Every structure is written in structure tokens, then in C-alpha cells.
């Protein structure tokens, strides 16, 4: 396609500017440099050969995305699609913490909405990844 755009650019440089798009008449098209030429003047003998050329396809063997094992151990996805995690801060140094604080930190809570996109990327095969909103 770079060949077509270069052809249009050379025609646009030779054409006279016709003004803005609002003054465009029917049967005319706008080129890349904002010059208007009629469609009959934009026909090229080799343009049909360029557009009807063979299209090449190729395959890319991309590797599958892996689940981050650390994330799969930290987060649990429920059948309804919610993500649960444990509260941080109870692994060590629990002596000076009050029992109510330790009890509050031991509960499992739902992940915030801001973090869902991050968890989707590290858990690509969970129900959460298929529930894109």
C-alpha cells in the first residue's frame, strides 16, 4: 500500500487546492494532502494489478501465556468471578499487635476493582480472565 499513497501524493501535488471538505462535490474524493480530485482522474492502469495482487498469509507460533504460580497461590477466584485474597501483615512480628487486629487480618476479603486488571494478566486461564468487563 505504500505505493498507492505515494501515487496519491504525486497527484495531490499536481492538483490545485479546491478548498475545504464542506465544498466537496459529489463524485469527488479527498486525497491525503487535502486536495480534491475527481475519481475519474484518480484511475491508474496499474492500480487494479496492485489491489488484486496475491495476498500472503503466515503463521506465528506464539508461546502460550503462563500462569504466575505466586499469584495462583495468593488469589482464589470464586465461581461467580470474585477474587479473594488474605490480608497482609500477619506473617511475623505479631507480639505487639492486639488480638482484635490479628483477628481482623486473618479474614479473607475480596480484591478491589482497581487490582482486577493486574490479576487478569497474571492469571490468564481463570474465570476472571474470561469475564472481561
pTM score of the predicted model:
0.49
C-alpha span between 118 and 105 (Å, rounded): 23
Gap between the Cα atoms of 29 and 37, Å rounded: 6
Q: Note the pLDDT of residue 20.
A: 44
Any domain includes 4:
no
Distance between CA atoms of residues 91 and 88, nearest Å: 8
Per-run averaged pLDDT (10 residues), the chain, 133 residues: 63 52 47 48 56 61 87 93 94 95 95 91 85 58
Range of the domain at 84: 71-88+95-122
- 130: in domain: no
Q: Are 85 and 70 in contact (CB under 8 A)?
A: no
**In the chain, how many domains are there?**
1
Residue 49 lies in a domain: no
Amino acid at each position: 500500500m505504500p505505493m498507492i499513497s505515494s501515487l496519491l501524493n504525486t497527484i495531490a501535488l499536481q492538483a490545485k487546492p479546491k478548498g475545504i471538505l464542506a465544498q466537496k462535490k459529489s463524485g469527488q474524493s479527498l486525497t491525503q494532502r487535502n486536495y480534491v480530485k475527481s475519481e475519474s482522474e484518480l484511475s491508474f492502469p496499474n492500480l487494479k494489478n496492485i489491489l488484486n495482487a496475491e495476498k500472503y498469509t503466515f503463521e506465528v507460533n506464539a508461546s502460550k501465556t503462563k500462569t504466575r504460580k505466586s499469584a495462583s497461590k495468593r488469589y482464589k477466584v470464586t465461581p461467580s468471578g470474585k477474587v479473594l485474597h488474605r490480608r497482609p501483615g500477619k506473617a511475623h512480628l505479631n507480639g505487639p499487635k492486639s488480638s482484635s487486629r490479628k483477628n481482623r487480618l486473618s479474614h479473607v476479603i475480596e480484591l478491589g476493582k482497581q487490582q482486577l486488571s493486574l490479576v487478569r494478566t497474571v492469571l490468564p486461564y481463570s474465570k476472571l480472565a474470561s469475564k472481561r468487563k
